Amino acid sequence: MKSSLSLLPLILFTCASQADTGYWLDLGWDSQYVSEGRDNIGRGGVWWGGAAVSVDSLTAYATLARGDSEFFSEWNIGLEYELPLGNDWRGSLGYQRVEIVADEPFSDNEWFASLAWWLEPRLVPVVAYTYSSDSAGYFVELSLYSHWQLTESLELTPFVTQGLDYQYMTELHSGRNHLQWGVKAIWTLDDGWSTTLQLAHSEAQGDVILDDEEGDLNFISLHLSREF
């Protein structure tokens, strides 16, 4: 499991970094821990902390999530390699170890890949794939992002994501899992600092409804990050 907002900066950081070595730090809060169209905690939100080190095309990262109202902690520790695809294409391959400390502890090894086409910043299609060794299933996200640079320091990015589950979350159903859309605002501050606010809505589809009988979810995320 992973928060799309919390780990997305890692992908962007890896792809956008031009220096031989770079560093990234992130602190944030989500009103709900939503991933794969589900509320992973059930009550309250989650605090996030993350760090990454990038050397050439390889990024090592670690993120920690802690519930603000429930007994819940999650570590994601991994490596991500940026593929040399040229100026218009951005892709990566990676591995991460997931360790959850909660009433029901959980461990997993995940392999993931992503591919984005950056020919036109206002319409960027992205395909993301994650394979779980625990469930022997995979999850696919098909996304469209539209990047709008409103000022030198403010970027607005509406997005829509279709999630597809193939035994990654449940064996009951294969196919449509959830449809999520929202908007992300990034304020660039001084000395490499940036603030990100995301408003999102997740619409439950076949797999989520059959698995958890959950409905739609609305949530917000606020993060403070620094690259240096």
The pTM (predicted TM-score) of the whole model is 0.89
What is the C-alpha to C-alpha distance for residues 126 and 116, in angstroms, rounded to an integer?
Answer: 4
CB–CB of 153/193 below 8 Å?
no
What is the C-alpha to C-alpha distance for residues 81 and 63, in angstroms, rounded to an integer?
Answer: 17
First CA to last CA distance, the chain = 27
What is 94-147 written as a DSSP string? EEEEEEEEESS-EEEEEEEEEEEE-SSTTSEEEEEEEEETTTTEEEEEEEEE--
- How many domains does the chain contain in total? 1
Q: Where does the pLDDT of residue 112 fall: very low under 50, low under 70, confident under 90, or very high at 90 and above?
A: very high
- Mean pLDDT value of segment 85-110: 94
For residue 57, pLDDT over 60 is answered with: yes
Q: At 74, which CATH number?
A: 2.40.160.40
CB–CB of 102/71 below 8 Å?
yes
- Mean pLDDT value of segment 41-51: 93
pLDDT tens digits, one per residue of 115-166: 999 988 899 999 999 999 999 999 999 999 999 999 999 999 999 999 999 9
For residue 7, pLDDT over 80 is answered with: no
Give the range of the structural domain holding residue 130, as residue numbers without chain letter.
4-227
For residue 13, pLDDT over 50 is answered with: no
